[in-house]
Amino acid sequence: MEITLKPAEHSRKIILNNLLEKYNYEFSQYDKMPFNQDGLYNYTYLDSYFTSSNRFAYFIFADKHLAGFAMVNNRAECDRRVDWSIAEFFVAYPYRQQGAGSKAMEKLFEKHKGFWNIKYHPKNTVSKSFWTKIADKYSCGEYELLSGNEKYYDGTMPEVLFFKV
């Protein structure tokens, strides 16, 4: 499977918003965030990914099919200085367990070198396993597991992986 990343252009913002709704619904099983009265989550920071110089949104394609997205910023989720952070990351079910997420991260690391932090909800064991494998592989085992700065909606403290690529 060939994985490619393409910057999310403003003209395709609605597609990213649609995928964010699916992502947030899936994630709500961990953080218990309810949707609003319109049945939506309305991702607060979406517009900033099209106006800010330190935020990047990418679509993930698998063999030219839209397979997910990655959103990168420079927000520190732990008590370390960071260059980059995964704000949101989503791979659709048909492309999971096939290396699409790992290959997408490899391509992100090629574009964004430096100190990274990646947070996850500790109850999301699939995410924890995925991100730990990514941190281990791309840092050659030189990563730290830290506590996050801000609690999730359900009051759980995030776990954060800190490493250099």
> What's the pLDDT tens digit per position in 80-106?
999 999 999 999 999 999 999 999 999
Mean pLDDT rounded to a whole number for the chain: 97
pLDDT on residue 30: 97
Q: Does domain 3-164 have CATH number 3.40.630.30?
A: yes
Integer Cα distance of 28 and 66 in angstroms: 23
The whole-number average pLDDT for the span 113-131 is 98
pTM above 0.75, yes or no: yes
The whole-number average pLDDT for the span 106-127 is 98
pLDDT on residue 143: 98
pLDDT on residue 91: 98
Integer Cα distance of 33 and 151 in angstroms: 12
22-49 burial, b at 16+ Cβ within 10 Å, e below that, comes to ebbeebeebbeeeeeeeeebebeebeeb
- CB atoms under 10 Å from CB of 85, counted, come to 21
pLDDT in tens, 39-68: 999 999 999 999 999 999 999 999 999 999
Residues paired with residue 69 on neighbouring β-strands, in sequence order: 59, 90
Which sequence spans correspond to the domains of the chain? 3-164
